[in-house]
Structures are given as structure tokens and as C-alpha cells.
Structure 1
């Protein structure tokens, strides 16, 4: 039998100096779970319609009023919510109202490990509140709070992400056109060539017939959508280069002196593009997804990318489960791609030599996959030191200055 509470608890009772609130956000309702001074351990639960900020603030005022009536004192509010589909707009509204707000990574909160675990908004709200209490008590590693980006930083990330979305859409249109033609015995048509329209009119099936009427009409409409996507990619790339590759003065932020964001952004991206093997796409994506953020140490850098190791050890059993994959998936994918390019364009660097020495001659694909992931983690840390502190990467070659 499990005992969640002792009959005579020996723990020291904590006198709350604030009203602690957790928000469980969904598309229809927001569940408010609160713990106020003067109510003991009883958690109150209320709900408001999703998106009703006025109702939420009114409920907060009511909680403060009732706490003042019970104790004769006024208390501040401390609010926690999960990082999710709602983004950070609720967090920003609360901060504008002078309320202390925290956004937590939901995967960092400990949960029961029973095979069938009960999960409801009520249970999740109470778990959030307990995590907030432990965090404010100063308990180490109780949860991981998310650092909310500024609205400008969040908006600028859309440029690289929209380009990835459009590129995937371009691939789908090209593959659909090639699939339609392959079913007719045609395998040499290139949808991305400049003479794609003229070439379409000249096509014949594998058995010598003209291209069927409706197949040709469908491919023509696919080409219309493909050309629209190609034009949008050009517009996004032009805007991305204008914003992230602007020719502002290069000012590297080192030391306590504060610098404005524009010179820092320009210097970081331009420092990356100065390395051989880095083009505008890889440099801007790496900067906007990871290196533009503040990290205290190399472990935080690797953890944010999901490239941190995940050991499994119990008694005499110990093995490695691979990388955690708990961070930014876009940054992780970008770093693996950059790691392969680094081997091609920077083979004389210390990191590339480490990879070749580790893999050896005749290595299997599985061994190369493990090694390239380790190289991606090492390279990300080295690039972070390079753009943040100006520490040169050993053996790396810079592009010739035009």
C-alpha cells in the first residue's frame, strides 16, 4: 500500500509570501490552479474561456482580494505555464501587467512512472504548481524554465523556417510531377529547368503516344504551383539576406559592455559566413535557431540542440542510449548537415582529423552515423565559442577576403 502523506508530517511548514498560480492552456478553456496564503495546502481551481485575458486578470485580482481579506496583507502573483502552441503571448501580457511569469519545459517535470498514468488538466495543473513551488524554494534541477525570446527575435526566425517549409513544398511538387510522368514511361523530364513548359509540350509516352490530355493538364497546374513556390522562395531569401546579412558595422560583444542587437546579429552571421564551407543559408539558420541565444556553458549549448549524451547506468550495467533529441530539432538537423560539409571543406581542421581518426578505414555506416553526431556536438560548441568570444577554431580556414 502506498502512503502519499504521513499521519504526523515532520516537514517544516512553509509560509507563503506570494500567490502561486499555474495555467493549463487549451483551445477551449484555461484552467487556473492557485495556492494562496491563509488556505493551508488546499489548491483552488477556476476556469476561464481560452483567450479571455480580461477574465484571467479579473480572476487574479479576486485571488489577491481574498488573500488580503484572510491575512490583512497584499501578496504578489507568481504564474507558471507550459511552453506549447500558445507561444509566449500570454507570458508577455502577464509581464506587462507586472506579474512574475515563468514558462516551463513540460518534458522537464517529473511524473509518476506507473504503466497506466492518469492524466487530466486538474492533475497537470497541480503538478505545474508543485514544480513552481520547488523552483522558487531553490531546489536544483526540479524543472527547466524556458527563456522567452523577444518578439523581434521570434519574428525573425520565421524567415529561415518559412524557407524550409517552401523548400519541402517544392520537393513535393517536383516528385509529384516526376511520378506522373514515370507512369507514362518518361524519366528524363526536369521540372526545375527553365524550359519546363516547352519541354512538356514535346513529351511522348514510352510507347510513342502523345502525353494524355488530362495528365498534361494536371502537370501544367502542378507547374503553376511550383513556379509560385519558386518565386516565394526568392522573396524570402532576399528578405532573409537583407535582415540577417545586413552590412552593419561588425561589433563583437565581449566583456560587460552592452551592444545593440543589430551589430551583434550582423557580426555573428558574418563571422560564420567567413568560414570556408558556410553559405548564407546555413549561417543564418544556425544563428537564428541557436547561436543568437545566450548560453552559460557548453553543456547548455549541446542540451539546447538535443545533442547531449543520454547515459543509462544502474549498478554494474552501464551503456549509452545516444543523444537526447530533447532540444531544438531544426538546430540539430542543421548541425548534422553542417558537420558533413565541415568534413568536405575543412578536412585539415582539428575536429575533422578527430573524426577521421575515430572512424578509421572501412568503417560501417552505423559507426559513421555515431561519429558524425559527436562531431556535430563538438562543432556546435566550437562555433558558439567562435561567435560569442572570438575563439578561433583550431585548423579552420577562412574564406579569402574579396
Structure 2
């Protein structure tokens, strides 16, 4: 029987009984918003928990289970979802210890959102969106969202060395440029703060008009040198820890990462970043490897329009930047490898143009080849290995 235009349509009930209570967590420093959808109910309930209060959170979970049990006469497990953010993975580990909790951490950018110019965004709306996403994912829709793999504390800790060194290097560049800028304003162009005789040369400097460096300016530069020397000491300490980690003789992850050092052109820093940021994970194929690094292509196809937008950049930015840098070095240190020949042939086909897009393509191919080498021992064709 057709429905008339002026007749109100009955709302179709959404099937929510998937054998669990679905819970989303919106985490902030002061408050955790718990949004729940229980079997036998079509409305989502919301509860506020003090930020960081694990006991209060589990008490809220117990209350949800008791209410669902009184309604359906069955004790349901919980499926909990939260966004990957500043809280890291510690809460996911706490929840995963309980057998009645299935904990998931979702990549926020993978959830489909309205494309309106001005869309409403609140913790309440985000909590409901997470509930719908995890329910679709549990129903077997893999593209509803992308779940983040929960790393072990050891895997997270091994990444700290490479990331800390990158931060220290950036601070070193800042102080070096600061010192050079101060001296350049006085007409001094040839001072190198990273030389060992930096303090002795500072006393010998003369400005562009023949004066010695003024007292307060020299004092400011000396304080900059103090901070620079502290950074240099810390960088050496981090590099020593990194080298000790890579030189362990065992079947653990550091030993597998050390296999990258056998390839000419890959040093300790590259080997550490490549393994700790990506190659320690399990991948089923090379497409997954490229997608994790954000080096997968992004086609745009609609009707007769078919063009390429470049790489997605939706992966690990540190791994992607390292691979692009390594691709340039690969051409220099591995001139007779099959990948280098492939790159040069493509460049010659385009009359020497499109080097930058093609270096990204080389980085994608090189990452897949390194993954095969680390995981299966397949040596890259034509690659030169270091002598013992």
C-alpha cells in the first residue's frame, strides 16, 4: 500500500543486537564522554567520567552491563572504540586485559564525514559517529573505518630513539642558524658553530667594520653555544643507544633491522627508522606496505575523467619522508641496481623531466623491495651489499 505525501512514515528500527554493547570513548584532559548502545534499546546513552579515572570507567561499564542484563536477561560483552590521539595506546592496553572487553582504536581520518561547508561537531556527535562506524565494521564492512594495530610497549619504545634524534637535530639547526644570523648582522660570514674550535674562533672574530664582537653579543652567542654543546652531547648519547640496539646478536627485532645495514647506502639512522616506523609490522602484500607509508596512488575517476592525484599521504609521514630521501641516495650508491635502471629509463622516456614524481614512484618500489628483503630475505636485484 503506497504512503501518501501527508502521511507520516514509520521509522525503521535499526538492528542493534549484534551480541554486544557498543561503547565509544571521547577522551579529553578533564572529562571522558562514554556513549553506549545496548541490545534491546534504540537510543544511545551518555555518561561522563573524570579524565584518567580508570575505576570510574569500569564502574560505568559494569552499570551498562547490569542494565542490559535486566532488559534482555543476558550478560553482554563490550565492544569499545576510541580514536587514536594524544592518549596513545595505554588505555587500549588496559581495556584489552579484560576478557569481556573487545577494544579497538580507530584512525579518525578513515571515518566518512558529511562534506558540508559548515558541519556541526561536538563530542556527542563524534561519539555517535564512532558507534555507527564500529557497528558497520563488526557487520563485515571493512571500508567503514580503519582500525589501528595495537603496538607492544617494546615496539613503541624502539621508535623513541629515531624520533628523539630528529627532534634534537631540528633544535641543533635552530641554534646554528641563530648564531650565524647574529654574526651575519655584524658582517661576519665565515663562522661555523659546529667546529671544535668554535669558542676560540669567536674571540678572534672581527666585524665588517673592523671591531671586535661587542660584549653583550658575545655573551649571547656563548649562551647559544652552551645550548648547542648540550644538544651535541645528547645527540651522541642517542646515537650510541641506537647503535647498541642495532648491534644485538639475537633473533629479536633489532637483529632483523640490522640486516638493512648490509645494503650499501643504508646507515644506522635509516635502518632504525625504516624498521621501527614500518617494517616491523606484518603486511600481506606490497600494496599494504605502500599504503601504510602513504605512497599509494590516489586515482580520480568519474565518467570520462580519469587522472592521477599523486600519492595519498595518508600513512606514516616519517616513513614516507625517509623513503623519499633514501630514493635519492639509492641512485647514487646503487647505480647498477634494477630499480636505478628502471628510474633512468622512465626519466629518459620523458626527456629528463618528471624527476620528482618518479622519485616518489622509486621510493614506493624501493620500500616494497626492502620489505621483501627484511621479511623473506629476498635480495634486491642488482643491489651491492657491504663487505663484512
TM class by shorter chain equals over 0.9
Q: How far is 1:297 from its partner?
A: 1.4
Identify the residue that residue 79 of structure 2 maps to in structure 1: 78
Query: SS at the partner of 2:253?
Result: helix
Identify the residue that residue 134 of structure 1 maps to in structure 2: 136
Aligned match for 2:256, one of 227, 244, 268: 268
Pairing of 1:1-400 with structure 2 (within 5 A): 7-8=9-10, 13-39=15-41, 41-98=42-99, 99-243=101-245, 245-249=246-250, 263-360=251-348, 363-364=352-353, 367-400=354-387
Query: SS at the partner of 1:319?
Result: strand
Count of residue correspondences: 379
Q: For 1:270-291, what per-residue CA distance to the aligned partner results, in whole angstroms no more than 9, with x for missing partners?
A: 2110001111111111111111
Query: SS at the partner of 2:324?
Result: helix
Q: How far is 1:357 from its partner?
A: 0.9
User: 1:67 touches 1:74 (CA, 8 Å); kept in 2?
Assistant: yes
- How many Å separate the matches in 1 of 2:16 and 2:80? 18
Taking a change above 3 Å as real, the CA distance of residues 11 and 31 of structure 1, as seen in their structure-2 partners, is: closer
- How many Å separate the matches in 1 of 2:155 and 2:125? 34
Query: SS at the partner of 2:144?
Result: coil
Taking a change above 3 Å as real, the CA distance of residues 285 and 226 of structure 1, as seen in their structure-2 partners, is: same
Unaligned ranges ≥5, structure 2: 1-7
The 10-residue stretch of structure 1 (14-23 or 219-228) with the greater mean CA deviation from structure 2: 14-23
- How many Å separate the matches in 2 of 1:134 and 1:267? 40
- How many Å separate the matches in 1 of 2:202 and 2:190? 11
Q: How far is 1:14 from its partner?
A: 4.8
User: 2:16 touches 2:39 (CA, 8 Å); kept in 1?
Assistant: no
- How many Å separate the matches in 2 of 1:70 and 1:34? 15
User: 2:248 touches 2:255 (CA, 8 Å); kept in 1?
Assistant: no
- How many Å separate the matches in 2 of 1:315 and 1:23? 41
| Normalised TM-score (structure 1) | 0.92
Query: SS at the partner of 1:242?
Result: helix
Q: For 1:364-398, what per-residue CA distance to the aligned partner results, in whole angstroms no more than 9, with x for missing partners?
A: 4xx11101001000100010011001111111110
Query: SS at the partner of 1:141?
Result: helix
Q: How far is 1:55 from its partner?
A: 0.8
Q: How far is 1:169 from its partner?
A: 0.5
Query: SS at the partner of 2:306?
Result: strand
User: 1:346 touches 1:352 (CA, 8 Å); kept in 2?
Assistant: yes
Q: How far is 1:247 from its partner?
A: 3.3
- How many Å separate the matches in 2 of 1:112 and 1:46? 26
- How many Å separate the matches in 2 of 1:239 and 1:378? 31
Q: For 1:313-350, what per-residue CA distance to the aligned partner results, in whole angstroms no more than 9, with x for missing partners?
A: 11111111111111110000100111011000001111
User: 1:16 touches 1:36 (CA, 8 Å); kept in 2?
Assistant: no
Unaligned ranges ≥5, structure 1: 1-5, 250-262
- How many Å separate the matches in 2 of 1:12 and 1:86? 32
Q: How far is 1:10 from its partner?
A: 6.5
Q: How far is 1:15 from its partner?
A: 2.7
Q: For 1:65-88, what per-residue CA distance to the aligned partner results, in whole angstroms no more than 9, with x for missing partners?
A: 111111111111110000011100
User: 1:351 touches 1:375 (CA, 8 Å); kept in 2?
Assistant: yes
